[in-house]
Amino acid sequence: EIVLTQSPATLSLSPGERATLSCRASQSVSSNLAWYQQKPGQGPRLLIYDASKRATGIPARFSGSGSGTDFTLTISSLEPEDFAVYYCQQRSNWPLLFTFGPGTKVDIK
Amino acid sequence: QVQLQQSGPGLVKPSQTLSLTCAISGASVSSNSDSWHWIRQSPSRGLEWLGRTYHRSKWYNEYAESVKSRIIINPDTSKNRFSLQLNFVTPEDTAVYYCARISGSGKYYFDYWGQGTLVTVSS
C-alpha cells in the first residue's frame, strides 16, 4: 500500500503570502497525484490532477509540481478564501485503493 | 453540471446497517466511462475510500479490504442513483460519508462530491 505524507501539518501565513505545501509518496506514483481543498462543512474540491494540471475553474494562483515520490502545491499569493485544509491523493492498483494524505491546514497568521 | 445529492439517516445503532443513497443529476450512473464511489472522513482515519460501482458493458463493484466483508454498493438505474450499505457497524464507523465521481476510465481523481452526511453510530 502506498502511503502519502504531507508537510507541514499546519502552515500559518498572512493574505498575500506564498504557500508551499508538500506531499511525499512511499513509492513512486509517477505523475498520478491530485490535490484537493476542503473548507469546514464542505466536501473536498479538486484543484490539481496529474500533479500539475489545474481542474476546471481553479485560479492560476494554484500550481502543482513534482513526479515520482515528491510533490508540491503552491499558492502564489493567498486570498482570504484560500485558508482551508489541503489533501493529496493517489490510486494503487494491487489491491485497488484510493488513498489520501493526512492534510495540511493553511490558517491565518 | 453534475450534482450529487446524498440522503439517509444520521444515527445508526451498533451492529445494525448503515444505508445511504446518492442521487445523480447531470450524469448517468450507467455511464461506460464514469465510476461512482463512497468515501468517509473521520478525525481518527482521515479520508478513507470505501468502494465503487461502475458499468462497462456489465456492472462491477470493488471494495476496500478494510470493509470488504461488510459493504455493498448498488446502482439503481431506474432512479439514476447509487447506494451504500455497511453492515454490523460499530462506533468506529462514525464519520462523514461522501459520494463522489471519477470521470473517465483509468482516471483516479474525484471531480464531483456529494454534500456529505454525518453518520453517528451510537445506542
pLDDT cut 90: percent of chain B above it? 98
Other beta carbons less than 10 A from residue B73's beta carbon:
22
Check residue B105 and give its pLDDT: 86
pLDDT tens digits along B8-25: 999 999 999 999 999 999
pLDDT category, A1, cuts 50, 70, 90? confident
Cα distances (angstroms) measured from residue B4 to each of A108, B26, B59: 31, 9, 20
Confidence band for B106, pLDDT divided at 50, 70 and 90:
confident
The verdict on a CB contact (< 8 Å) between A98 and B108 is yes
Residues in chain A with CB shorter than 8 Å from the CB of B116 are 41-43
High-pLDDT (> 70) share of chain B, %: 100
Kindly determine whether residue A96 and residue B37, on different chains, have CB atoms separated by under 8 Å: no
Please give the residue of chain B at the shortest CA–CA distance from A53: B109
Distance to chain B for A37, nearest Cα, Å = 12
* Residues 44-63 in B contacting A (C-alpha not used; CB under 8 Å): 46-49, 62
What pLDDT does B59 receive?
Answer: 97
Q: Which of B49, B109, B113 has the most A C-beta neighbours within 10 Å, making it the best mutation to test the interface with A?
A: B109
Give the list of residues 6+ apart from residue B64 with CB closer than 8 angstroms, or none: A97, B48, B49, B50, B51, B71
Of A45, A89, A95, the CB nearest to B65: A95
Structure confidence at residue B13 (pLDDT): 98
**Which residue among A41, A90, A100 places its CB closest to the CB of B46?**
A100
> Which pLDDT tens digit goes with each residue over A14-49?
999 999 999 999 999 999 999 999 999 999 999 999
Q: Is the pLDDT of residue A104 over 90?
A: yes
